Amino acid sequence: MEDDVPAVKHSRSSTITVEAEYELFLNNDWTGENPLDFYRLKGTQDSFKRLVVITKQILCAPATTAGIERIFSISGRLLSEIRLSTNDSNFEMLLFCNINQELLDSNIKSKSVENR
């Protein structure tokens, strides 16, 4: 799998894989760091190119409320009269599975292809 992952070119003219970049991040002590300040630093952007991109996607505010409206719509359908007695934990699992149905489907398909 590591061969499928493109390497990032660093200023030190060395390459680093996604896994190595993640391990480098985990092996450092970032406690007390403000994530936004940390990822704005030029050195961080050079050393953790992929993590910077992912962080921007996670920490940014959505431009619309369409995503949350979709979640409320799905949760309303799940909490029908029949399922009103569902406990919180089961409801959260049902909601997660419904929202991430495409991800679950693609994961199942990829596993079935691997088993052939």
Stated length of the chain: 116
What does the pLDDT look like over 17-64, one tens digit per residue? 888 888 888 888 877 778 778 877 777 888 888 888 888 888 888 788
Residue 2 structure tokens: 């590591």
Report whether pLDDT(3) > 50. Answer: no
Count Cβ atoms below 10 Å from residue 99 Cβ, excluding itself.
15
| Residue 9 pLDDT greater than 50, yes or no | no
Structure tokens at 19: 């896994």
Q: What's the chain's average pLDDT?
A: 77
Domain segments of the chain as ranges: 2-59, 66-114
What 73-80 contacts at long range (C-beta under 8 Å, 24+ apart), as own/partner pairs, is 74/98, 74/99
